[in-house]
Chains A and B, each alone.
Chain A
Amino acid sequence: MRKIWIVAKRELMTYLQTPMAYALMAGFLMITGYFFSMSLLGSRAASVQSMLGNAGLILVFVAPILTMRLLADEDRQGTSEILFTTPVSVGQVVVGKFAGALMIMTALLLIMLVFPLVVDQFGNPDWGVVLSGYFGFWLMMTAFLAAGVFTSSLTDSQLVAGVAGVALLLLLWVIDWAAGSLGAPIGPILARLSITNHFVEFNRGIIDTKNIVFYLSLTFGFLFLGTRIVESRRWR
């Protein structure tokens, strides 16, 4: 646990000391702010549902760009050699790096609470729905970041890792489109795999354990795969 924290702390420091994370956060807040204003002006409803729903698509691009550096750069710079020859396991490094990225994104999500607070000044948003939506968004973000860490383990090029991450998340985003035309048994399975379907329920104010389990298992699955791949790269 201590090692995970040391690794996470270093990643957090790197994010805070380099411009990339700031640029991503600023861009993300700008676009979500635009979504928020537009939906507010359009519907005049005291809700952030539409903003959160759209923000998910932006997250498809932002999460892999934030994580693409994490494992790919260790290999490119050769620093994996000093890192992995200290008493640390590959799993600890992978989880630590993921945790660093998650901390930054969690901070971003907390900043995004400004939107419902603004609504609260002028109307009466349903805070239960708002918080359920934010919780669901946080879970989805966790899975996206884990997917980004996974693609970062595949290559020593940041760019390839980033592009692969976006492609993977986009595919999971649209995978249920095929569900209707394919029918049973493949169709329902694809619908279940869709990363959006599970979020929609949170955004309506429904916290269902099966949706929590979905995102958590996706997160564990990607982190496990990432660990295995980093290990196998050295065994080759």
Chain B
Amino acid sequence: MDMIEVNGVTKRYGKKSAVDNLTFNATKGEILGFLGPNGAGKTTTMRMITGFIPPTAGSIRVDGIDVVENPMAVSRKIGYLPEDAPLYPEMTVADFLDFMAEMKEIKGKGRRREIDRVVARLELGPVYRRLVGNCSLGYRHRIGLAQALLGDPEILILDEPTSGLDPRQRLEIRDLIRDLAGRRTVILSSHVLPEVQQTCERVVIINEGRLVAEDTPSGLAARLQGQSILRIQVRAPVEDTLRLLEDLPGIVAVKRDADGRNAGPPSFTVEMEPNRDLREDIFFRFAESNLPILEMTPVGFSLEDIFLQLITEDPERAQEDRREVIPS
């Protein structure tokens, strides 16, 4: 069942489109990664899903309820961590969480319990009586997250939940989000790719407000597996290796890797034509010449490679981007 349906949504500020005809969905219990470079429209989209700003065109449904028509009902289902976790600096952590819990209509004894739960879950005990404004950035971010988790909402919208955290805290947040998998629907945005790769079941990539790709992390990788790349290490003179490889039909390019990582015979990166597996051909060719292959590894694409490739796929736009970088 679709928990969140974003349907042909456009958001324009004046003439500029921040989000342009975007369509995707998130099913119940899914952890969806929302990926894109800075300024791609991630934050704008998340604000529209939470009902904070209305779309210029298109519709958003949360658990079947239209966000624009019934924002109150939608806000009861969503826990939201905005970008940079804005908080009231002049309140103590205790007062702040109590205020947010009251606003979220958590009443009576349940409120105390809920606050204790999120304080324990995010380890806010040491700063509980402190002013929010005096807490470190890492704590402030966790306070923001604690606020979003209050009331155990069905849906969590987390805008850059791990930015500004140290690696250990990042790991903890990642565990926390993974804990929610299956029970709660989570959309989290990031421009840190391994983050998404490790926590999300499905990834939506947007660039300049438009959908670029939507798939599982491994599905995205498979989609681009077409151009296979091998790393190969042979005990042989460099010239011989280069000659043998370049002669082989189906090989696009051979590049000698920079030495340094490990001493010993040089290694090479071999790019093959799309959808051709030449590993056996390479093996026999070197075997015929009595040159032993020490290592041959298919190089998998990281999400990072895919991401870069997807957003620069349009060569014209890539050109434009480059031109923008050079100050005129």
Contacts and interface: CB of A to CB of B under 8 A. Distances in A.
Interface of A: 3, 6, 10, 13-14, 17-18, 77-79, 81-89, 234-236
B110 to A, nearest CB: 16
22 contacts: A6-B99, A6-B102, A10-B99, A13-B95, A14-B90, A17-B91, A78-B84, A79-B86, A79-B88, A81-B82, A81-B86, A82-B144, A83-B103, A85-B50, A85-B75, A85-B78, A85-B80, A86-B75, A86-B100, A87-B76, A88-B75, A89-B72
Interface stretch (B51-59, B114-122, B184-192): B51-59
Contacts of A81: 47, 52, 80, 82, 86
B72 A85 contact: no
B282 interface: no
Interface centre among A14, A77, A87 (most CB of B within 10 A): A87
B99 A78 contact: no
A17 B80 CA distance: 27
B87 interface: yes
A78 B86 contact: yes
Interface centre among A6, A17, A81, A89 (most CB of B within 10 A): A81
Interface of B: 13, 47, 50-54, 72, 75-76, 78, 80, 82, 84, 86-91, 95, 99-100, 102-105, 144, 147
B13 to A, nearest CB: 8
Contacts of B105: 87
Nearest to A234: B53
A85 B86 contact: no
Contacts of B91: 10, 13-14, 17
Nearest to A7: B103
Across the A-B interface, the 4 shortest Cβ-Cβ residue pairs? A78-B86, A86-B103, A81-B82, A85-B50
A116 to B, nearest CB: 35
Contacts of A14: 88, 90-91
A39 B74 CA distance: 59
Nearest to A69: B90
A3 B86 CA distance: 21
Contacts of A89: 72
Contacts of B82: 78, 81-82
Given A6-B102, A77-B87, A82-B87, 18 more contacts: A10-B99, A13-B91, A14-B91, A17-B91, A18-B90, A77-B88, A78-B86, A79-B87, A81-B52, A82-B80, A82-B147, A85-B51, A85-B80, A86-B103, A86-B104, A87-B72, A87-B103, A87-B105
A16 to B, nearest CB: 11
A234 B104 contact: no
Nearest to B77: A87
A84 B76 contact: no
Contact of B90 (A17, A86, A87): A17
